[in-house]
């Protein structure tokens, strides 16, 4: 049993760095109650904090949050919103990459950035009922069919 624990710990030591999430952007605006859920841990979010791939961003009933991703994509959410950044990859030399985000509930505004310009097919936004693809775009989403989970 001890041996098993040891080997699992050893495996985790090697696997965890590989799973270490990539930096995707920065919170620039944070008003009211805003939090980030990262690997199961929920912490209060404030302006100046880094957003990582896999982060779930949650706003309270008085909350709103604005995020600038590394490719200049702007994401901002209104109150009572839950947004998950499922995927973000950006090559600052070729200006290509991929973005995948989900809005589980609430409102989200998007100003697309360099990835949408250079690899538009690699940009996807999911709502509970739809998948959005874009071509050089500004838009807003209300996930009205979503439920608190």
Partner 1 sequence: MRARLVLILVALIVISGCAGYDRVVLLPDKNLRSSALVVNSAQGEAVLDQPYKAADVYSTGRIETKELDPEAVNRQFGAALSAQPPRPTSFILYFIEGTNELTPESLPMLEQIKSELKQRAFPEIVIIGHTDSLGSPDYNDALSLSRAEAIRKIVQQAGISALSIDVAGRGSREKLIQTKEGVSEPLNRRVEISVR
Nearer residue to partner 1 within complex by CB, 72 or 87 = 72
Please give the residue ranges that form the binding site for partner 1 (CB under 8 A). 26, 28-29, 31, 47-48, 61, 64-68, 70, 72, 74, 76-81, 105-109, 111-113, 117, 127-148
- Min separation Cβ 56 and partner 1, Å: 16
Q: How far apart are CA 22 and CA 142, in angstroms?
A: 27
Nearer residue to partner 1 within complex by CB, 36 or 141 = 141
**CB 74, CB 54: distance < 8 Å:** no
- Min separation Cβ 96 and partner 1, Å: 17
3-class secondary-structure state, position 36 = strand
- Min separation Cβ 17 and partner 1, Å: 23
Nearer residue to partner 1 within complex by CB, 5 or 114 = 114
Nearer residue to partner 1 within complex by CB, 3 or 149 = 149
**CB 118, CB 94: distance < 8 Å:** yes
Nearer residue to partner 1 within complex by CB, 54 or 66 = 66
- Min separation Cβ 51 and partner 1, Å: 12
- Min separation Cβ 27 and partner 1, Å: 8
DSSP secondary structure string, 40-61? TEEEE--TT-EEETT-EEEE-T
Q: Where are the beta strands (DSSP E) in 17-128?
A: 23-31, 34-38, 41-44, 50-52, 56-59, 64-69, 74-77, 82-91, 96-111, 123-126
- Other Cβ atoms within 10 Å of 21 Cβ, number: 15
């Amino acid at each position: 049993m001890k041996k098993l624990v040891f080997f699992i710990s050893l495996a985790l030591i090697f696997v965890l760095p590989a799973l270490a999430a990539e930096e995707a952007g920065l919170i620039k605006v944070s008003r009211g109650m805003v939090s980030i859920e990262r690997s199961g841990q929920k912490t209060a979010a404030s302006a100046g904090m880094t957003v990582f791939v896999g982060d779930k961003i949650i706003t309270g009933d008085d909350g709103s949050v604005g995020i600038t991703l590394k490719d200049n994509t702007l994401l901002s959410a209104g109150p009572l919103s839950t947004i998950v950044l499922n995927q973000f990859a950006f090559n600052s030399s070729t200006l290509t990459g991929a973005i995948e985000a989900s809005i589980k509930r609430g409102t989200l505004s998007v100003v697309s950035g360099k990835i949408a310009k250079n690899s538009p097919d690699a940009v996807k936004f999911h709502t509970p009922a739809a998948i959005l693809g874009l071509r050089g775009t500004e838009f807003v989403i209300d996930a009205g069919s979503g439920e608190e989970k």
